[in-house]
Amino acid sequence: MTVTDRPPDETLASLGELGVLARIFPRLPSSREQLLGPGDDAAVLRAPDGRYVVTTDMMVHGPDFRLAWSTPYELGWKAAATNLADVAAMGATPTALVVAIAAPLTTTVEALEQVADGLREACEALAPGCGVVGGDLSVSETLTFAVTAFGDLGGRDPVTRSGARPGDVVAVAGELGSAALGLSLLFTRAVDGSGIPNADLAAGLRASHPELLIAQLAPVPPIPAGVDAALGGATAMLDVSDGLSLDAARIARASGVSIALDGAALGPRIEPALTGGEDHALLATFPAKSPLPTAFRPIGRVVAGAGITVDGEPFEPRGWDPYTDWNGGAG
C-alpha cells in the first residue's frame, strides 16, 4: 500500500492522461524481454524461441469486482495474476503484460498508483522477470481493466486442452474452492440490508477469514507449476477459472475423453471446489507412469467416454456465470 503526503484529491480529470502516466510508469515492473517499452506507439519484445503465447482478459466493475470489497492494490494484483495463470496454463513462462485501464474522471491518482503497485508486486511474486511493457489509459463511467499477457514456451510445445488420454492421471496445483467461499462470504456477510456491498463489513471478514478473502481478492496462482507441468510431460492443462467441474469438462470435451474425479481428493470443500469459480489453480493430465511435479496432487483419472464423474457418478458441470449470476449491482 502507498503512503503519500500529497493532496488526496488529485484525479484523472485534474492531472490528465500524461500526468497520470508519468506517475504510474515508474511503479511498473520491467520485463526481461523488453527491447522498447512504454512511450512510443508500441512496445517491442524479444521472442526467445521464435514464438509467443498471448492471452487477454477484462475485469469490469460490477460483474467482476466491487470497490467496496477490493482495494485498488488488489485489483492490480488480481488483473495480473489471472492473466499470468492463463499463460502458465499453456506451459509457458510469463514475460510481459500490457494493461489498458478505463476509469471514471473522478478516479484518484493515488488509486491508480496502487493499481500499479499491485501489478508490480504480483509480477515480482508470481513471475519474476515479467513486466508491464505498455498500456492505455481511457475515460469511462465503468472502471475496467483489460490485460494482455505474453509468455515464452522455451522451445516446448504448448500444453493445450486436447491432449488428455485414457489412463492419464488428473492432477491439480493450487487451491480449489477457497476463492468461491471467499466470494460467498462477501455476498452474504459484506452487504448491507439492501444487498449493497459494504467496505466496513468486508474489513471484518478480512480479519476473521483472511485466507478465503485473499483467495478471492488477491489470488496466488501457482505460476511456476505451469512450466513444471510441461517439463513433467503434461498431456493437457488449463487454468481453473470457472470451477473444477466446468473446466475439467472442457479438457474432457477437447480431448474426447471422460474425467473421473475422486471426491476424497478434493478435500472437505467439495461443492465449492467443483462448482466455484476463480480458483486459478492449474488442472493438468499426466501419463500414469510420469512422476507428478511437486506442486501437483492427483485428483482423478482420465478414462474413455465423455463428460465428468465424481466417485463414479456423472456430474453435471456448473460454475460461476456472470451472464446469469450477476445481479447488476456494483458497489
What letter does residue 330 receive in the DSSP assignment?
-
Window 168-207: contact mask with a copy of itself (x via CB under 8 A): ----------------------------------------
**Which residue from 63, 72, 219, 232 is in contact with a copy of itself, where contact means CB under 8 A?**
63
**Which residue from 28, 29, 64, 261 is in contact with a copy of itself, where contact means CB under 8 A?**
64
Q: N- to C-terminal Cα distance for the chain? A: 22
Cα–Cα dist 91/20, whole Å:
35
Cα–Cα dist 264/283, whole Å:
17
CB of 98 vs a copy of itself, minimal distance in Å = 4
Residue number, 85 or 270, with CB nearest to a copy of itself: 85
Cα–Cα dist 303/74, whole Å:
40
Q: Cα separations (Å) of 187 from 73, 168, 207, 229, 318? A: 21, 38, 16, 35, 19
CB of 262 vs a copy of itself, minimal distance in Å = 24
Q: Does 92 bind a copy of itself (CB under 8 A)?
A: yes
CB of 200 vs a copy of itself, minimal distance in Å = 25
Q: Does 9 bind a copy of itself (CB under 8 A)?
A: no
Please state whether 28 falls in left (phi above 0), alpha (psi between -120 and 50) or beta: beta
Q: Contacts with a copy of itself in 223-282 (CB under 8 A)? A: 237-239, 254
**Which residue from 154, 256, 298, 322 is in contact with a copy of itself, where contact means CB under 8 A?**
322
* H or E element at residue 331: none
115, three cell numbers: 493499481
Q: Does 153 bind a copy of itself (CB under 8 A)?
A: yes
Nearest to 319 by CA among 176, 163, 162, 148: 176
Cα–Cα dist 146/207, whole Å:
30
Is residue 287 within 8 A of residue 198, CB to CB? The reply is no
Which segments are annotated as binding site? 41, 55-57, 64, 86, 135-136, 161, 239, 241-242, 278, 320
Known binding residues for substrate are 64, 278, 320
Q: Could you tell me which residues are annotated as the binding site for ATP?
A: 135-136, 161, 241
List contacts with a copy of itself (CB under 8 A). Answer: 12-13, 16-17, 35-36, 39-48, 50-60, 62-64, 86-87, 89-90, 92, 96, 98-100, 102, 105, 133-136, 138-142, 144, 146, 148-151, 153, 158, 160-161, 237-239, 254, 321-324, 326, 330
